[in-house]
Structure 1
Amino acid sequence: MPVLTYVYEDAGTSRYTDHDQLFKELIHTFFAEFLELFFPEVHKYIDFSAIRPLSEEVFTDLLGGESRRADIVIEATLKGEETILIIHVEPQSYYQANFHERMYLYFSLLYNKYRKPILPIAVFTYDKNYNEKNEFSMSFPFFHVLSFQFLTLTLRKLRWRDFIHSNNPVAAALLCKMGFTEAKRVEVKKEFLRMLVRMQLDPARQRLIYGFLKGI
């Protein structure tokens, strides 16, 4: 199973929350279910019997002068092929204007280390809608140098009602970050609990999913 890596910072300066840590544990526990729910085209090509967690990746953010960890980095194999790729999932809980550039830096550093194809995925979990960039490019009037793109998932832009009949534990957990109004908060909580009861998860996984109730 994939290894989960947390970033710990001083309470006074940290932008990371309890929900961030829960989210990372969720992806760690339900990696296949996460891809199946939100990136089915990726899921159908991955051989989940052959995934392997990679060592903790600590990089220096050259723009901010901070050390950062690539949150989830997994080596995987495509079904029926010998192709090995690296899947990098990066949750982002706050708006950052240069986030697309940071994703490119992570991509470059990971490729420099492993020299394997890399699939980057960004998951935006904050409560406001922004027009996030999913591409970092560099060009001149006389030459286009590069266009780097990554997959994105903006939970706030999803309609929670589209997921309440799902038996996927990730759908239940992330209802709390989907788009709903204050008037619908109680209704969302009720649907969350119905989903949790219906899934009949083992106690450990049920506790993990139940931890997201505080976000509703």
Structure 2
Amino acid sequence: MMTAQPLQSDDFDSPWKNILEWYFEEFVEFFMAEAYADIDWRQPVEFLDKELQQVVRDAEFGRRHVDKLAKVWRKSGQEQWVLVHIEVQGQYEAGFEERMYTYNYRLYDRYQHKVASFAVLSDDRAAWMPAEFGYDLWGCRVHFEFPTAKLATYTEQWAMLEASRNPFAVVVMAHLKTQETQHDSQERRFWKFYLIRHLYERGYQRQDILNLFHFIDWLMYLPPNLEQQLRQEVYEMEAQKLKPYITSFERMAMEEGREEGREEGRRLEASRLLQRILTHRFGELSKEMQAQLAQLTIL
């Protein structure tokens, strides 16, 4: 049994933000059925990044992990704001409920808009399900409730996830299998290929396959040797299906190669420039010095 690299957290934020923005309607449909039925999806969704950043900047609780603030329209014609918070670190956090409340009231206080707050938790603590915040003092009572979805609870709904055409079913499956295979790289390779193949079998469109593949590929890290094996399996599968969608394996490698080539070229040019300057100032350089300068290009 090989040990897989633990879940990466340095840039965990970004892929979730992308997938949430690409499939916001599907996210609401999957996790927020009541809101989905009340929103007029014929109207465009507007993401209020600047408004959210202003509130984050003003917050006093340190770094935040709020992903998206979106403006939608209800079927009644009313404008409505939706705050979606994904706690991607996957760890218990004391004061989480207070933070949800703080964001909600700060948004309302600053912009005078009613805000529906929603949380998605990626940790595996079954007993931790924050859903409310409040206090009571001398007859003054504050009570704030918010819906929470816990990804770990979908483990027992695997059949439903497989049958669903909603892209967030794939997102949840990828998350669950990433957690389950943290210490077994071979098992992770199996499930990563399984989910990639699932994208084709469910009949997703090409761009959806690429988007979801990007998320799966980023989330389910594999050691290089197993990644190479997976890559070959994907090539063979695509050849059989005559749908070479995930050539991003090759494209990404080529892009990385081109970028490395550009970087190498810049370093080489810098080395040559330095050599010309030194030659002009000190005369002909020794072979030893030239070799040292050449070595700089591969540092």
Does TM, scored on the shorter chain, surpass 0.5?
A: yes
Aligned equivalents of 1:150 and 1:23: distance in 2?
Answer: 20
Q: 1:195 aligns with which of 184, 189, 198?
A: 198
CA 177–128 in structure 1, closer or farther in 2 if over 3 Å, else same: farther
**Pairing 1:118–2:115 present:** yes
Answer whether contact 1:164 1:191 (CA < 8 A) is retained. Answer: no
CA 76–61 in structure 1, closer or farther in 2 if over 3 Å, else same: same
Q: What letter matches 1:34 in structure 2?
A: F
Q: 2:98 aligns with which of 91, 95, 101?
A: 101
Alignment match, 1:26: 19
Alignment match, 1:154: 150
Gaps (5+ residues) in structure 2?
Answer: 1-7, 221-299
Alignment match, 1:37: 30
Alignment match, 1:52: 46
TM-score (norm 1): 0.79
* Greater strand share, structure number: 1
The percent identity for this pair of structures is 23
Alignment match, 1:78: 74
**C-alpha RMSD of the superposition:** 2.6
Q: Secondary structure at the match of 2:12?
A: helix
Answer whether contact 1:122 1:151 (CA < 8 A) is retained. Answer: yes
Aligned equivalents of 2:18 and 2:95: distance in 1?
Answer: 26
CA offsets, 1:148-174, max 9 Å, x none?
A: 011111101212333011111111122
Count of aligned pairs: 198
* Greater helix share, structure number: 2
Q: 2:133 aligns with which of 136, 142, 161?
A: 136
Alignment match, 2:295: none
CA offsets, 1:142-199, max 9 Å, x none?
A: 4241110111111012123330111111111221223774487566445423431034
Alignment match, 2:85: 90
CA 128–69 in structure 1, closer or farther in 2 if over 3 Å, else same: closer
TM-score (norm 2): 0.59
Q: What letter matches 1:89 in structure 2?
A: V
CA offsets, 1:26-67, max 9 Å, x none?
A: 1100011111122222111111222222242222332x3x35
CA offsets, 1:8-31, max 9 Å, x none?
A: xxxxxxx95433321111110001
Q: Secondary structure at the match of 2:163?
A: coil
Q: Secondary structure at the match of 2:164?
A: coil
Q: What letter matches 1:39 in structure 2?
A: M
Q: Secondary structure at the match of 1:49?
A: coil
Q: What letter matches 2:84 in structure 1?
A: V
CA 72–196 in structure 1, closer or farther in 2 if over 3 Å, else same: same
Answer whether contact 1:33 1:170 (CA < 8 A) is retained. Answer: yes
Alignment match, 2:294: none
Q: Which has the larger radius of gyration?
A: 2
Tell which deviates more after alignment, 30-39 or 199-208: 199-208
Aligned equivalents of 2:167 and 2:153: distance in 1?
Answer: 19
Aligned equivalents of 2:200 and 2:12: distance in 1?
Answer: 22
Q: Secondary structure at the match of 1:48?
A: coil
Answer whether contact 1:52 1:74 (CA < 8 A) is retained. Answer: yes
Answer whether contact 2:17 2:67 (CA < 8 A) is retained. Answer: yes
Q: Secondary structure at the match of 1:43?
A: helix
